[in-house]
Structure 1
Amino acid sequence: MTEPKRIRPAPKSVRVEPEKWSRWTAAAAGMPMNAFIIACVDYCIGLPSLIASKILTDDDHRALTKAHAALGAGRIPNNLNQIAKALNEQALIMSPDVEADLKEACGYVISIGRIFHKVAKSMRWRP
């Protein structure tokens, strides 16, 4: 059985002065103008999640990738794993203060991971 033919909405047009179009094109940073205009209008009417999923420049990609790599290559997750291993082997005795600090540090690492996951999902970014 064949799928029904997808019906596309009729195209719309916008009249814009050349100077304004040039500014829009520069602001779009390589993004298709149709998607850029839709994202900007959505943002203006209060749908910020839609603009986040549309506008992500090459510089944004590089910055996010660099930050994500720095988190993964950083010493904090590795150090937390080493502390957990020592605790599991009972080679380290934990006081209540140390336990509270470790829980706080783990919470920060988890929060940062969730932020990257949210960014990746909303902006269609792949680390």
Structure 2
Amino acid sequence: MDQAQNSKSKRIPPLSIRLSKEERELLVQQAGNLSLAGYIKSVVFADNAPRYRSRRQTPEMDAKLLAELLSHLGSSRVASNLNQIAKHLNQGTLIADPDLDIDLRQAVEEVVLIRRTLLQALGMKQ
């Protein structure tokens, strides 16, 4: 394969935009003697071209809070409690007694604490 064929096969697909008739006419007028493609490239790649998108900043993480959270998850019975509740629900053997109520309330409190701590550790608003 010669060099011309090799460079042609590596080309990426063209970029396409839709313009209204008025937008196209304005673009042709602004391009003057330049081709539309040449004019668009000169505007888009100009050093002073406006930048409209800003990349989202990755939140700074608090390693200490994340470590505390992982420690809390490790010592927590939330997963075990929820698993047992789900098992009994699926078996139809769930008995709503004061112990279950206490376990559910404790699980909810721990999930809320975990959520708050995660949001804080990730530097996000609560």
User: TM-score when scaled to structure 2?
Assistant: 0.41
More helix by share: 1
Name the larger-Rg structure: 2
